[in-house]
Structure 1
Amino acid sequence: MSENKGNAFDFKLFKRLMSFTRPYRGIFIFVAFAAIVMSGLAVLRPFLLKLAIDDSIVPKDSEGFMTYVILMLVVLILEVVFQFAFIFYTNWLGQSVIRDMRQKLFRLMTSFKMQYFDKSAVGRLTTRAVNDVETISSIFSEGLFMIISDLLKMLVIAGFMLTQSWRLSLIVFIVLPFIMYATRVFQKAMKVAFEDVRNQVANLNSFVQERITGMKIVQIFTREKTEYERFQEINKKHRKAWIRTVWYNSIFFPIAEMAGAIATGLVVWYGGLNVIGGGAVTLGIITAFIQYAEMLFRPLRQIADKFNTLQMGMVAANRVFGILDTRSHIEDNGTINYTNTKGEIEFVDVHFGYLEGEEVIKGISFKANPGDTVAIVGATGAGKSTIINLLNRFYEINSGTIKIDNIDIKEYTLASLTSQIAVVLQDVFLFADTIYNNITLNNPNITEDDVIAAAKEIGVHKFIESLPGGYNYNVKERGSMLSSGQRQLISFLRAYVSKPSILVLDEATSSVDTYSEELIQTATDKITKDRTSIVIAHRLATIKKADKIIVMDAGKIVEEGTHHELLENEKGFYRNLYEVQFADGGNP
């Protein structure tokens, strides 16, 4: 990713961006051709007007004048046709490129390690995938090709002016170096300004998205005023960044306008004196040069304006490529497809830390036999949920081995591994969609009959049917229309219909009501039957039937055994956890 923010233009970045146009080479060439034709047609109109004045109006030749009028009309129609094609296909090309880029970006983000999302703000990633990619399209629709077209017009016009009157041309050209220098300074200043704008937009998006998502916490703790004040500060910085770009525009464009007016005035002054004195300059040439001067300076002003657009697009491209260049993937070098087999799990001296030098899992080893239910208990922060993350390869272990059916999980293809491990999390995430789609996740291999049959098997069909629309009930964003217990039941059904070899229940009953817990317990008994299951729980009453209970503390396994075996150790961790949990007379 380019770090040289002071450069007016990054050609290396531009070249990389242009690589996305290769599938549309034909359209790219046509647009370039249309730009060339438009520059030629732009020169013809003032020249035909010059001929009409000198050859027809001054000599009073009405027949010849009508010929020139018809020719100018033909040129005008051709200009309209080519301009339509140019505008349409530059926008078409831009939208096609960002479609491909956005698809590549989204596909890449779905393959990132969980560690990447731990460190990246959701609002910032959303800005990259939506706002920044959309800004890139303006490089094609309003920036690059428009600039090329304007530059071609300027070159053709300048060359043609010299063939008509080199003296008048020099008068116009005297002003050019000043406006070109001003344009160069303006471009450099705008590059830095737009970098700041994109930063502030990302900050604003991130802040607003997080506060809207966590609005309940904001209101519960009466932080409305504090968050509003913080928003005011961020919004002020956003405004300041934009005002900076407005300031540069306010300086540059009046200067450019004044330079164009001076050039036109000099043409009229010198040309008028020449005509009065009987020189070679004619009224037609003066009229044409007034138009040529305007056509020469207008593109220069527009180029600066379009360069703003190009700069914004390049800054956005720089940010998007920054994500595209991110190497944060779990290595998927496995060659074995894991299918529904035994489901034996074994951890062998596994070490892991989310941060370098800070181990969370400290050399644990355990085995879950096929069809067994293994419960993992321990205080908060003991490393229970981390085991689930490692089993799914959301993170890479530092050392040791994790095996399924006596094969290192790294030897399985990642897709086949995750397809055979179903996870029910404590914090259930549901999409703003129907219950049916949240269960199947749009898997075409799971039919509605499969879903209904599975729901009946685990005892949640009646609950779903009681909702308006049944399986077509829209749960809204994050499942807000359902209670936590209902969301949990949906997640159980989602896990069950996928028919996994291994089932993971992570704190699945820690925050639900008694009625939902009974349904969940029934569902748990059903879906864990004859299937290797790992259950993480704080509520020890839910795991008494487990084939094995593993007790963890500070990243280590401190005890293993059945519920009754562990209770026999009067000074054991499990016995202590059990007594603390039921000290208030709770039902053991």
Structure 2
Amino acid sequence: MARNKYDVDEKLESEFNMGHVKRLMRYVIPYKKKMVITIVIMLIASVANLIGPYLIKVALDSKIPSKDVTGLIILSLIYLVTVIINGVCLNIKIKSMTDIGQSVILNIRKDLFEHLQKLPFSYYDSRPHGKILVRVVNYVNSLSDLLSNGIINLITDSFSLIVIIVFMFLIDVRLTLIGLVGLPILVGAAFTIKSLQRKAFQILSSKSSNVNAYIHESICGMKVTQSFSREKENLKIFNELSDNYRKAWMHAIKIQFLMGPFVDNIGNLVVVAVYIMGVAWIANGSITIGVLIAFIAYIGRFWGPINNIANTYNAIINNMAYLERIFETMDEEPNVKDLQDAYEMPEIKGLVEFKNVNFCYEDGQRILNDVNFKANKGESIALVGPTGAGKTTIINLISRFYDLESGEVLIDGVNVRDVLLNSLRKQMGIMLQDSFIFAGTIMDNIRYGKLDATDKEVVAAAKVVRAHEFITTLSEGYNTQVNERGSRLSAGQRQLISFARALLADPRILILDEATSSIDTETEMLLQKGLEELLKGRTSFIIAHRLSTIKNSDRIMYIDHGSIVESGSHDELMKYKGEYYDLYMSQYRMLEAI
């Protein structure tokens, strides 16, 4: 797929269907017992709340005319009890549903993050990371109120509506029929607004995603922004994206708020009609004042649940736009995954073989063309060549970060496609040019690949790769806190920590992709002995533009246009005087000039 950018709206691959709601309910089902109890409590509260108008009718039509003070006191006490019951039940409902809602949110976010860790590099290559982040945080959070209140409110308001209609019919059938006239009009309006509202909130979610993508990109590139004085231009872009979000928000809210006034206007018209007919019927003796007052109280409460249901309906439609995005991410199929009959990778010895390997990315451009080679156990293989030749692709295929177009990648004679990904990758060590450092202590970062390692083992690994010297000069040594991406450390220091991390993990196959590029020449000379220890007994693949670092490799392969052009030791290739010879001599002459 073409890379999506911060200024490109995301499009949903599939239309919304009720299956999304059913899928959401699967997250709610584990809490069904607690929800049933809460619903019962709220139904009791609803009945208690609806008894009030009927008590007023009895008081007006019976107790007051007969001057029954004792009866009025009893009615007042019953009314007070209903108010207390309603308050207590409401308090229980708020606590219970908040707990259920947040538990469901926790499980959805956990499943979403777990799935994101299974998606291949190609997924992250195809979209800004800010657009992924907004789904895990903002979109999941948007479901909170719907899950905490919406479901229960929908059930209890529906029940209240039925009970209110029953009470209304018991009081007066004619007034009830007048009160129900506006209901069909309201239902028709709701379905008309639905499609407009869903589309508006889909657009809003896209604009929100764009803003988040640009903020994430800008924060990650802030040093570059300030270095090139790009603040004004970036602010202009941000303001434009924010304005697009504001316009989308205003449009969505305008549609959302159509429902509330519509309900209120229909409710007011119905109440006016009830008043007109009620007063007329009181005049001719058809009904009593108590009946009219009680009925007006019920008709007011009738439109209350209607309004609540309309608001809940609004919330459901609004959140469906976010739910679609969440489930779209969960439904993203990893194109690199364990086969159905995949098995544990046996303990790796170190024999790596490429057989007729062809590979292209999703744009269809061929990267590797019929690559064949064999790396024996414990052999160090250096990959050199121009940028874009296919060097990094080769090492990515060894770890099966991508699947082949054709051919086979074998480790100890086992096809990497046939084994469980986790069992394959945990036996490998990969060090990249941009060594990622996580927020935490240096000790934690080195221990990242082997959580059960002792402090002594961590220190020993750091000493071997010459990281110990600079670590001990820091304020708290190995317990020094480092920021995300290791911003408090130099690029060379980050790479030394990565070397220690790789050594501690003790991988059988080691991949170094420009892993010494940020280390100065003096540090590199000190590191050579550590590297020898790191590479000892391991099959290793080294990508380096600084050819001095790979002179001692067992074999050097010159890659160009996706093919192995030359292969041999440093001395053999120098005698051959081909592409590698030209590359080495150009670097040598450059160093002499300096």
Q: Taking structure 1 as reference, are residues 412 and 262 closer, same or farther at Cα in structure 2, changes over 3 Å only?
A: closer
> Is the contact made by 1:347 and 1:365 (CA closer than 8 Å) also made in structure 2?
yes
Partner of residue 368, structure 1: 375
Partner of residue 351, structure 1: 358
Give 1:233 deviation, angstroms.
Answer: 1.4
Q: Distance in 2 between matches of 1:340 and 1:191?
A: 53
CA offsets 1:521-547 (integer angstroms, 9 cap, x no match): 333122012221111110111111111
SS at match of 2:444: helix
Partner of residue 162, structure 1: 169
Q: Distance in 1 between matches of 2:29 and 2:373?
A: 53
Give 1:400 deviation, angstroms.
Answer: 1.3
The one-letter code of the counterpart of 1:282 is T
The one-letter code of the counterpart of 2:503 is Y
> Is the contact made by 2:354 and 2:410 (CA closer than 8 Å) also made in structure 1?
yes
Q: 2:274 aligns with which of 267, 271, 291?
A: 267
Greater alpha carbon shift after TM alignment, 445-454 vs 137-146: 137-146
Partner of residue 397, structure 1: 404
Greater alpha carbon shift after TM alignment, 87-96 vs 315-324: 87-96
Partner of residue 263, structure 2: 256
> Is the contact made by 2:58 and 2:290 (CA closer than 8 Å) also made in structure 1?
yes
CA offsets 1:407-447 (integer angstroms, 9 cap, x no match): 22223322121111101110111112211221222743222
1:477 and 2:484 are equivalent in the alignment: yes
CA offsets 1:21-64 (integer angstroms, 9 cap, x no match): 22222123223333433332332121122212222223322110
CA offsets 1:304-359 (integer angstroms, 9 cap, x no match): 22222212222211111111111124232365534554212111121111135321
Partner of residue 21, structure 1: 28
The one-letter code of the counterpart of 1:537 is A
Greater alpha carbon shift after TM alignment, 112-121 vs 170-179: 170-179
> Is the contact made by 1:378 and 1:551 (CA closer than 8 Å) also made in structure 2?
yes
> Is the contact made by 1:350 and 1:362 (CA closer than 8 Å) also made in structure 2?
yes
TM-score (norm 2): 0.93
Partner of residue 548, structure 1: 555
The one-letter code of the counterpart of 1:310 is I
CA offsets 1:243-285 (integer angstroms, 9 cap, x no match): 11332345443333233233333333332333344x1422222
Q: 2:52 aligns with which of 45, 52, 57?
A: 45
Q: Distance in 2 between matches of 1:214 and 1:415?
A: 32
Partner of residue 238, structure 2: 231
Structure 2 residue runs of 5 or longer lacking an equivalent are 1-11
Q: 1:313 aligns with which of 319, 324, 329?
A: 319
SS at match of 2:482: coil
Q: Distance in 2 between matches of 1:442 and 1:163?
A: 72
Q: Distance in 2 between matches of 1:51 and 1:135?
A: 46
Partner of residue 179, structure 1: 186
TM-score (norm 1): 0.94
RMSD over aligned Cα atoms: 2.1
Q: Distance in 2 between matches of 1:59 and 1:537?
A: 102
Q: 1:323 aligns with which of 312, 326, 329?
A: 329
Q: Taking structure 1 as reference, are residues 468 and 585 closer, same or farther at Cα in structure 2, changes over 3 Å only?
A: closer
Partner of residue 243, structure 1: 250
Q: 1:415 aligns with which of 422, 439, 460?
A: 422
Give matches, 1:289-304, under 5 Å.
289-304=295-310
Partner of residue 441, structure 2: 434
Q: Taking structure 1 as reference, are residues 338 and 43 closer, same or farther at Cα in structure 2, changes over 3 Å only?
A: same
> Is the contact made by 2:449 and 2:501 (CA closer than 8 Å) also made in structure 1?
no
Q: 1:448 aligns with which of 426, 447, 455?
A: 455
SS at match of 1:546: coil
What percent identity do the matched residue pairs reach?
A: 36
Q: 1:577 aligns with which of 550, 571, 583?
A: 583
SS at match of 1:403: strand
Give matches, 1:59-78, under 5 Å.
59-78=66-85
Partner of residue 512, structure 2: 505
CA offsets 1:47-102 (integer angstroms, 9 cap, x no match): 12221222222332211001001111111222122222323222222222222121
1:90 and 2:97 are equivalent in the alignment: yes
Structure 1 residue runs of 5 or longer lacking an equivalent are none
Greater alpha carbon shift after TM alignment, 137-146 vs 538-547: 137-146
SS at match of 1:559: strand
Partner of residue 111, structure 1: 118
SS at match of 1:545: coil
The one-letter code of the counterpart of 1:150 is D
> Is the contact made by 2:350 and 2:539 (CA closer than 8 Å) also made in structure 1?
yes
The one-letter code of the counterpart of 1:504 is I
Q: Distance in 1 between matches of 2:159 and 2:534?
A: 70
Q: Taking structure 1 as reference, are residues 215 and 287 closer, same or farther at Cα in structure 2, changes over 3 Å only?
A: same
The one-letter code of the counterpart of 1:78 is I
Q: Distance in 1 between matches of 2:193 and 2:343?
A: 58
Q: Distance in 1 between matches of 2:557 and 2:161?
A: 78
